[in-house]
Structures are given as structure tokens and as C-alpha cells.
Structure 1
Amino acid sequence: MEAWLKGFAAEASTFGEESEQDSLPRLFLEWASEHMTQKHIVLDEDTCTRVEVGDELALAVAEVVFLGKPGCSAGEEYRGENVADLFLPDEELAAEVVQSEAKQAIVEEAAERERLKEERAAKNAAAKGKGKGGLAGLFSGKGGMAALFGGNEDDGEDEEEDDEDED
């Protein structure tokens, strides 16, 4: 993104009499005249004869184009002027961005809830897999409480011993 902004600033700053009608520098000046409150801010400070777009202004321009308003912090300045005051905000675009961000937040929240639900299900499944070692294991299987009271699975050894005793 930084490289794109620097490229935009450099290209926009090449405006001259020879600039073609549909060139980026000329289109930028037209855009600035429609969307900026202080159009002269895009000109160099010394002579006001050439376009000079600094990195901070390039970022603010991109934010206005794509988000409807600059995303700068309160009091941020460009050449002594408050950046937020340099642009006519596009309220419609800004509202669309806010609405889109809200929808994205809802989607992300639902995905997080689903992830947590799956995580809990996996933990529950793992805990059930260990059921033989839990309370259920006390009552079943070899060595369980049922075996202590003679009600467990028979391994066949006792029958052989019983048969030998009868002989």
C-alpha cells in the first residue's frame, strides 16, 4: 500500500501543461477541485506553479476516495491545515463503508461463535472418549466395582478352577 501511495503522489506531482486530458495528474487536479475545500494545498508552497502531493496528503486522498472521508486522527495537519477539513466528505460512501464494516463484524462474530461451538464439541467428544476412566469406569470393566462384588465379566479362569474342584 505504501508503494502505491508513493507512486500515486509521484505521478500526481508530474502535472504540467503537456499533461494529457485523461492523465492521472490532470484527473487528480479535477478531482481535487471537486472534493477539496482548499484546492491550492496540492500546489507547491513556494511558487504555487506545480503540483506537489506529499505522502500524508496521498494517504488522505486514498481514504476519501475509498472510504468517503479521511481516516486521520483529530488534529492531524498537512502544511498547517487540519487534514479532515481539507476534504468535502462523501457521506453516502462513508455510510456504505460503515454498513459494510458492520456486516463484516456480524459475519466475523458468527464465525467465532461457530468456532467456539466446534471447539466445545471436540472437547466434549474427547471427554466422552475417556469415559471408561471416569465414573462409568468404576462400574464396568475389569477391576471395576462390579468385579469387587462378583458381578463383572468372567474371564473364564474361575470356571476352570470350579471344574477342577468338582473332580
Structure 2
Amino acid sequence: MADELNTNGSDAAEAAPVIETPADSAAVLAALEAAAQTAQDEAADYKDRWLRATAEAQNMRRRFERERADLILSANERLLLRILPVLDDVALAFAHIPADLNEQDQQWVNGFALIQRKLSHILSSEGVTVIETDGQGFDPALHEAITHEAVEGYQTNQIIGEVRKGYKLGERILQPALVRVAQ
């Protein structure tokens, strides 16, 4: 029966030492190097994909923040555009105050002047600035000409007078100034 076990090969294979030839070692080494190179290529590909995904996520975050800021600015701009005519109307009312007001009426006017100052302060705290017109040259990006008049003492395209104030929010024009321009 011992002979039968040897003929099956189970004991014989364990007993016989495996001798590798140099050609076998070179083949195994080449296979291992190929596997290592494949693993390095995959790792480099995964790293590249990760870097691209990270950059894309950062770009999306920046774009989202920029769109959010633009949306807030747009909402502020719409609100400010609705408030500016009120400020213009108050200024127009002050321009037409009769000179013969009694003291009681003067207190009432002072109350409206306080309201005008508060409203102007709120607008300036939001970044709204008045477009300058006094002594300026006409700039179609900032001003809207309602008349062109021949007036002595003014150069051509110099602003003669302001009909309505203009306002900017940062660099954006909220309302161009309505002006009279020298011809």
C-alpha cells in the first residue's frame, strides 16, 4: 500500500524538492514587474481622476459662491431701484419749499430732512454712490442728456445742470444722471 501512495503522487510531490531554473525566475520576475507597473499605472490614473474631481468640486463651489453673490447683488439692485425714486421725490420736494414757512411748519420740514438723511445714509452703507455732475463733461455711460443748449461760459459737452441725480452701486449704474448739456 505504501507503493500505491507513491504512485498517486501525493507523498511523492511533497517529498520531491521543487527546483526552479533561472529561466523560471526571470519569467516570475518579469511577471511581478509587469504587475507592479500595472498597479502604478492604475494608481497614477486614480490619482489623476481624484485631482480632477477635487478641482471640479472647487470650481463648482467658486461658481456657486459667485452666482450667489450675483443673485444677492441683483436682489439688492432691484430694491434700491425702487427706493431711488422716493429719494429723488424728497429732494424735489425740498427744492420747492416755500420761503415763508412759519416755525411750526419748519419743524415738519426738519423731520422730512431727517428722513432724507437716514435714507441717504442707508443707501451709502449699501455701497450706493451719487454720480457727480457739477463741472463734469458729459459721459454717456454715466449721464443721460435731456437737452443740448447753447450757453455762454460752458464748453461743448460740459454739463450745465442736473435734472435728476444718478446713482451707482459699486461699478454698476443703477440710475444714470439726467443732465442738461452745453452744445
Relative contact order, higher structure (CA 8 A, sep 6+): 2
**Superposition TM-score, scaled by structure 1 size:** 0.35
Q: Which has the larger radius of gyration?
A: 2
Whose strand fraction is larger, Structure 1's or Structure 2's?
A: 2
**TM-score with structure 2 setting the length:** 0.33
